[in-house]
Amino acid sequence: MSARAVEIEKLIVHAARRCVLDVDELQISAGEITAIMGLNGAGKTTLLRTCLGLATPTRGVVHVLDRNVPQLHGGSLAQFRRRVGYVPQLLPARSELPLTVREVVAIGRTGRVGLFHPFKKADWRIVDEWIERLGLTLLSDRVFGEISGGEQRKTILARAMAQEPELLLLDEPTANLDLGWRERIVATIQQLHAQTAITILLICHELEVLPSICHHVVLLDQGRILVCGAPEEVFTTERVAAVYGAGLHVTHEGGRHAVVPGGSIHV
Amino acid sequence: MFDLVFWLPVMAGGALAGASSGLLGTFIVGMRIPFLGICVAHAALAGAVFGSLCGLEGPTVVLAALSGAVLAALVLGLLDPQRTQLDDNVVLSSLFSATMGLAFLGIGLHDRLGRSDNDVRGILWGSLSFCRWRDVRLMLIVGGALLAYVVVFFKELRAILFSRSDAAAAGIRVTIIWTGLLILVAVVLAVNLQTVGGLMIYSLISNPAAAAFQLVRGCRRAMWLSAVFGAASGLGGFLISAATDLPSGPVIVLVSSALLAFATIHRRYAAKPI
């Protein structure tokens, strides 16, 4: 694998006849955590979906894990996607489905195992290993629709990891979670990266969600990259005020970041 | 006197239609697209109507029905929801209204041309009492094909059942597997339709699967239990109707509804899923 996990050049993506993404250049190094941030409708999810071949660009080059994604179709696209773990923003909400947590995690293994091949013991070992590593062992026989939102997020994360991906795409992994679960998910992402050195592309809205080991932040505004760099460089009070509105103050503490309305942080 | 030799193929037909519809129901109910059954049934009806208009008669009308159902399944399978940006149920309801319009147009033409539409009415309402071993053999073949497909592609179907878009994102060949399942839905429904009729098919798809989802954990268990509930509805409903001298179709529908009511009450008051 090259040192670059993602290389994008002159990318234009249209949706409903509107240009939603216009990225001149973006490079993401292998083994790093990169956060994509920006206002609602800035093109964050479209960027992630384009990297996975779920959104088709109007033009441009999207090299992910050494494959030019827009040129992949059918079997080659499926083969590429097996190398990328994806945690979508919206979780399937069919609560009546009787699929257990273990079965949902096993879905991540399905593409890897391939058509006409049954799961082997080694595949189930990997599934159970990720269930254990994400602290889901006691829930593995529970129905997915009956566990809490945070536990469901962890299950989907375990599903993505059971794929043994080279790149992990996380679309708002802490959406709709309370503070406790948000911190647990952030800690899990940090732990995953520490254990596997996997490249992680993460979309989030809150600065507090950025792991302390986040290497880069890409700030999008109306489909264009406004700035790209280390979190401390990107999130200055002036820039946050310019993008999100006046009266916001940014603090950086122990590698973590927070935005508070004016003044200073009181712990 | 109950003539077992005469009624045995009827009982086998009811049980087989119930089992295959119940098995399909796991995916149709699980993906919240119950409209699929009714949509494919009307496509089969449209196929039968136009087949009959073209001069087909008797068993060959079933082939026309099959063609209509498979064509509808192919349209549904090859439409990519990511590209069309349309919900499955919106596509299904549009296709349903189109196939229903075509079917009634054909029935109108039948009347205008003064042709007999007995074969078409047979497809629409079914006639379990006239099910013979020839029909049972056909149901066994398509039911066996469905079973083989589900066993071979179980892990992919489980992923699609959970989320079609997530399965595609995980590198699963969703279009191939999903279109294959839809074609089998079309074939199984078109074959069962002439035996058990549209109303019963719809209840045998929805009720057994919904009941199984109430009682068990795990995709595989739910699938088998749904097939068992479907077979029990078909067979049990027929036996009750024979014992009480009531029409078999409505009794089968009511038995499957009673199973769902029992499962829901059992889940609510008696126990956790197995």
Q: Is B84 on the interface with A (CB under 8 A)?
A: no
Return the closest-CA partner of residue A57 out of A99, A100, A12, A16. A12
Q: What integer is the mean pLDDT of B249-262? A: 92
Q: Is B132 on the interface with A (CB under 8 A)?
A: no
All domains of chain A in start order, with CATH: 1-83+165-233 (3.40.50.300), 97-161 (no CATH)
Q: Is B217 on the interface with A (CB under 8 A)?
A: yes
Q: What integer is the mean pLDDT of B248-267? A: 91
Q: Which CATH class is domain B4-197?
A: mainly alpha
List of chain A residues whose C-beta atoms are within 8 Å of the C-beta of residue B31 = 94
Determine the 3-state secondary structure of B259 from DSSP: helix
List of chain A residues whose C-beta atoms are within 8 Å of the C-beta of residue B226 = none
Return the closest-CA partner of residue B126 out of B55, B204, B221, B183. B204
Instruction: Give me the residue from A78, A141, A144 closest to B171, CB to CB.
Output: A78
* pLDDT of B81 strictly over 70: no
A78 vs chain B: nearest CA distance in angstroms? 4
Mean pLDDT of chain B: 87
pLDDT value of position A59: 94
pTM (2 d.p.): 0.87
pLDDT value of position A94: 73
Which residue of chain B is at minimal alpha-carbon distance from A165? B170
* pLDDT of B1 strictly over 60: no
Which residue of chain B is at minimal alpha-carbon distance from A79? B171
Q: Is B243 on the interface with A (CB under 8 A)?
A: no
* Residue, of B228 and B65, whose pLDDT is higher: B228
Q: What is the pLDDT of residues B137-182, one digit of tens each?
A: 999 999 999 999 999 999 999 999 999 989 999 999 998 999 999 9
Q: Is B265 on the interface with A (CB under 8 A)?
A: no
Instruction: Give me the residue from A83, A94, A110 closest to B30, CB to CB.
Output: A94
The Cα A186–Cα A184 span in angstroms is: 6
Using the 8-state DSSP alphabet, how is residue A228 labeled? E
- Contact between A34 and A71 under an 8 Å Cβ cutoff? The reply is no
* pLDDT of A260 strictly over 90: no
Q: What is the pLDDT of residues A70-127, one digit of tens each?
A: 999 999 999 999 999 999 988 876 778 899 999 999 999 999 998 889 999 999 999 9
CB contact residues (below 8 A), chain B span 145-184, against chain A: 152-153, 155-156, 158-159, 161-163, 165-173
CB contact residues (below 8 A), chain B span 32-61, against chain A: 32
pLDDT value of position B80: 67
The Cα B171–Cα B150 span in angstroms is: 19
- Contact between A98 and B221 under an 8 Å Cβ cutoff? The reply is yes
Mean pLDDT of chain A: 88
Q: In the structure, what pLDDT confidence band is assigned to residue B101 with cuts at 50, 70 and 90?
A: very high
pLDDT value of position B181: 92
CA-based R_g, chain A, Å? 19
Return the closest-CA partner of residue B49 out of B98, B122, B146, B153. B122
Which residue of chain B is at minimal alpha-carbon distance from A53? B169
Q: A48-62, B91-105, B108-122: lowest mean pLDDT where?
A: B108-122
Q: What is the pLDDT of residues A191-233, one digit of tens each?
A: 889 888 899 999 988 877 787 778 899 999 889 998 899 888 8
Q: CA distances (Å), B5 to each of B38, B237, B245, in order? A: 33, 19, 18
pLDDT value of position A150: 87
- Across the interface, do A98 and B168 touch by the CB < 8 Å criterion? no
Q: A90-99, A136-145, B29-38: lowest mean pLDDT where?
A: A90-99
Instruction: Give me the residue from A79, A98, A100 closest to B171, CB to CB.
Output: A79
Q: What integer is the mean pLDDT of B25-35? A: 88
Instruction: Give me the residue from A82, A92, A143 closest to B171, CB to CB.
Output: A82
List of chain B residues whose C-beta atoms are within 8 Å of the C-beta of residue A113 = 155
List of chain A residues whose C-beta atoms are within 8 Å of the C-beta of residue B170 = 81-82, 86, 107-108, 110-111, 159, 163
ipTM at complex level: 0.86
Element spanning A62, H or E:
strand A59-64
The Cα A51–Cα A28 span in angstroms is: 12
pLDDT value of position B36: 85
* pLDDT of A241 strictly over 90: no
Q: In the structure, what pLDDT confidence band is assigned to residue A267 with cuts at 50, 70 and 90?
A: very low
Q: What is the pLDDT of residues A49-74, one digit of tens each?
A: 999 999 999 999 999 999 999 999 99
The Cα B56–Cα B119 span in angstroms is: 9
- Across the interface, do B30 and A81 touch by the CB < 8 Å criterion? no
